[in-house]
Amino acid sequence: MYHFFMKTIVITGMMGAGKTTVANLLSKKLNLKFIDIDTLIEQIENMSISEIFATNGEEYFRKLEHQIILDSFNNENCVISLGGGAFENSETRNFLLKNSTVIFLKTSPKIIFERIKTNALRPLLKNNMTVEKIVEILVRREKNYNTAPIAITTDNKLPNDIVEEIIGVLEW
């Protein structure tokens, strides 16, 4: 069991892991504010993540993402859903690990593919939507995801069941 003291809960993991869905449900269940970093970025930039990647590049997006994550912290208890690559930035990762309860939603590449194969708005998979490409990204990111103190496997689980599992691990 992980002893949880009220503070920000951050959900990380690959695209298609269910971060936004699970974080939103968890925030409702715990009666906490919900923040979706990708949605916030899209609102601030007034364009989609794909458009930001296409127009300004990944490096610009990652800097913006880092800043918005830091700006989202105001010592208010909330649930934050990160973009899939946010945990790659060591400054972001270290800040989140120190200042929040980070939960890694662990999802197999095959399940991710099934969930996102019809979504054309995934900039890192543009023109290469394959299980192999997902594996390649996951292999690159996994060591960082695994620094999260809590990992929940999401394969073949309903979002509400994942939320209940998270609450059980948080030991209220």
pLDDT in tens, 106-130: 999 888 888 776 655 555 555 556 7
Local confidence band at 39 (pLDDT 50, 70, 90 cut-offs): very high
Compute the distance between CA of residue 154 and CA of residue 34 in angstroms, rounded to an integer.
Answer: 20
| Residue 5 and residue 74 in contact, taking contact as beta carbons nearer than 8 Å | no
Give residue 109's pLDDT: 87
Q: Which residues pair with 151 in a beta bridge?
A: 104
- Across the chain, what does the average pLDDT equal? 86
Greater confidence (89 vs 5) lies with 89
The mean per-residue pLDDT over the stretch 67-93 comes to 89
The mean per-residue pLDDT over the stretch 139-150 comes to 93
